[in-house]
Amino acid sequence: MATPKARIIAALEHREPDRVPVGEIAIDFPITELALGRPTLYRAKWKEYVAEWEGRRDEIVESHQRDIVDLIRHFELDYLAVPLVPARRSKYGRPEFLGEYTWRDSAGRIMRYCPESGGHAMAIQPIDLTIADLPLPRDPVPVDESRLEAIQHVIKELGDTHFIIGRPPDGSFPWDSTTGTMDEFLVRMLTQPEFVERAVEVRTREAVAYIKAMIEIGCDAVLPGSDYGDNRGPIMGPDLFRRFCLPSLRRMVDAAHAAGGYLIKHSDGNHWAILDDFVAAGVNGWQGIQPRVGMDLRLLKERYGDQLCFFGGVDVDTLVLGTEQDVVDQVKYAIHHAARDGGLVIGSGNTLLPGVRYENYQAMLRAVREFGAYPVAL
């Protein structure tokens, strides 16, 4: 029987392993706590924010280290991507609160968290940032080793057997770390292109530095996570994507390959208009596939099956609102149409976000193991 690492490598290299691999780029706290039977600070959103403000940074890191390893073992995943953790600082403290779940962070962004959804806190208005406020591009970019502590631990525990994916910064569409809101960044692509070019350059250099560091310490791959698309297509349109985002994506891919690793790009939404660009850039795998918005794995396999490895197959919507049989049907469809000659890793189309039914996720894993053995015979 192949190891989880060998399984993913075979899929990425378009060879058939013993069975279709399975994994996730992230598992939010509700599923983690149900699976492990204990509280977590890994992707715990509000609880994690508060813990960092209170100076319990080491507790956050320990939770990431322990719970990511235990989730991989509990669900028998072939991979689970490992994020950066908060940097070690000499001083912590609560931000300026403007309401119960609204605050101004150290960058000046006004952030709001919605406890009903359990999602990430988001900036609710743009920052009045000029190009003069952006740092000048420089090499080398320092890497904060403290942010790699969870990745180092997971590599130590599972690196010999499992495929380890690190989640570096993504320099190709850095709206959240600059203007704070996507709308403002998109507008500036038209009105202030020099601002966008500087922002992308600065953040791409940071991304490349972390990509190199992650692979050097033992990651098999990296997964930059900026979303380019919505249900209609690329948010900025294909032309602006090629002008501003694609050169950065190429540089991140080149950095990963030069260091001896793979690059898997997360980006959900409708991507038909830019998948040729993914291929031209050398992207090894694409995660974020949403069948419900037209990203049909049968069509994707026909057009890109020998060029991209597909990570996904089951819509998050189905995991949230569907029945167990709906989930099984999507797994069978993905395997039937996209597993031939490798190139498929089953998982959710995004992340296991709050609202995913635990029973549905278990049904997905069972279906992969029942129907995913090679040679597939659906």
Q: What is the pLDDT of residues 193-246, one digit of tens each?
A: 999 999 999 999 999 999 999 999 999 999 999 999 999 999 999 999 999 999
Handedness of CA 158, 160, 162, 165 (dihedral sign): positive
| Average pLDDT for 255-274 | 98
Between 14 and 107, the more confident residue is 14
Does residue 378 register a pLDDT over 70?
no
As a whole number, the mean pLDDT across the chain is 97
Q: What is the pLDDT of residues 151-174, one digit of tens each?
A: 999 999 999 999 999 999 999 999
Domains along the chain with CATH numbers? 4-89+139-371 (3.20.20.210)
Q: What is the pLDDT of residues 315-361, one digit of tens each?
A: 999 999 999 999 999 999 999 999 999 999 999 999 999 999 999 99
Bridge partners, residue 352, by sequence? 27
Tokens of 374: 């090679």
Amino acid at 155: I
Helix/strand/coil (H, E, C) string of the chain? CCCHHHHHHHHHCCCCCCECCEEECCECHHHHHHHHCCCCCCCCCHHHHHHHHCCCHHHHHHHHHHHHHHHHHHHCCCEECEECCCCCCCCCCCCEEEECCEEECCCCCEEECCCCCCCCCEECCCCCCCHHHCCCCCCCCCCCHHHHHHHHHHHHHHCCCCCCEEECCCCCCCCCCCCCCHHHHHHHHHHCHHHHHHHHHHHHHHHHHHHHHHHHCCCCEECCCCCCECCCCECCHHHHHHHHHHHHHHHHHHHHHHCCCEEEEECCCCCHHHHHHHHHHCCCEEEEECHHHCCCHHHHHHHHCCCCEEEEEECHHHHHHCCHHHHHHHHHHHHHHHCCCCCEEEEECCCECCCCCHHHHHHHHHHHHHHCECCCCC
